[in-house]
Amino acid sequence: MDSELLISCRFQGKILADSNSMIDTRDKWALADVSYEIKPDISFQHVLGFGYSFEPTSCYNLMRLPPRARHEVLSLLVDPARGAGLNLWRLCIGSPDFSYKFYSYDDLPGGETDEHLDRFSIDEDRRYVIPVVKEALAINPGIQLFASPWSPPAWMKIPEPHWRKGTLEERIGGNGMCSGRLDPRWYDAYATYFVKYLQAYKAEGIDIKAVTVQNEPHHNWVLMPTCWWDGENERDFIRDHLGPKIQQSGLATEIWCWDHNWGQIHPARYPVTVLSDPGAAQYVSSIAFHHYDMVHVSNMGKFHSMFPGKHVQFTEGSLLWLWGAARLAAYLRNWSQSYVGWVPFIDTNGDPNIGPFKTKRTMLQPVVPGAEPVIKEAIPAPHQYPVDPALLDGGPFKAILARYDYYLLAHYSKFIRRGALRIKSTRKMPLLGGEVSFKNPDGSIVSVITNRRRVPMRVHVALHGRHYRFQLPARSIATLHLSP
Q: Which domain holds residue 32?
A: 2-46+420-483
Tell me if residue 260 falls in helix, strand or coil. strand
Give the residue among 190, 111, 124 at the shortest CA–CA distance from 155. Answer: 111
Quick one: which H or E segment has residue 463? strand 457-463
Whether residue 24 sits in one domain with residue 99:
no
Q: Is residue 63 part of a domain?
A: yes
Same domain, 42 and 54: no
| CATH number for the domain harbouring residue 29 | 2.60.40.1180
pLDDT tens figures, 466-481:
999 999 999 999 999 9
Same domain as 84, residue 36: no
Domain count of the chain?
A: 2
Residue environment code for 32-66, b if the CB has 16+ CB neighbours within 10 A, otherwise e: bbbbbbbebeeebbebbbbbbbbbbbbbbbbebbb
Do 460 and 316 sit in the same domain of this protein?
Answer: no
From residue 190, give the alpha-carbon distance in Å to each of 227, 243, 245: 13, 12, 10
At 322-373, the pLDDT tens digits run 999 999 999 999 999 999 999 999 999 999 999 999 999 999 999 999 998 8
Strand partners, 255: 211, 284
pTM: 0.95
Kindly state the helix (H) or strand (E) to which residue 448 belongs, with its residue range.
strand 445-451
pLDDT at residue 459, as a whole number? 92
40 and 113 co-located in one domain: no
pLDDT digits (tens, 9 = 90+) for 175-228: 689 989 999 999 999 999 999 999 999 999 999 999 999 999 998 888 899 999
Query: Which pLDDT value is given to residue 372?
Result: 87
The pLDDT score that the predictor gives to residue 266 is 66
How many Cα atoms within 13 Å fall on the side-chain side of residue 37? 9
| 213 and 109 part of one domain | yes
Length of the chain, please?
Answer: 484
Mean pLDDT of 37-65: 97
257 assigned to some structural domain = yes
CA 348 to CA 199: how far, in whole Å? 36
Last residue of a domain, one of 290, 317, 340: 340
pLDDT digits (tens, 9 = 90+) for 129-180: 999 999 999 999 999 999 999 999 999 999 887 655 555 544 444 468 998 9
Residue-wise DSSP of 161-206: -TTEES-GGG--SGGG-BS-EE-GGGHHHHHHHHHHHHHHHHHTT-
* φ, ψ (nearest 5 deg) of residue 160: -140, 110
Residues 331 and 462 in one domain: no
| Cα distance between residue 5 and residue 7, in whole Å | 7
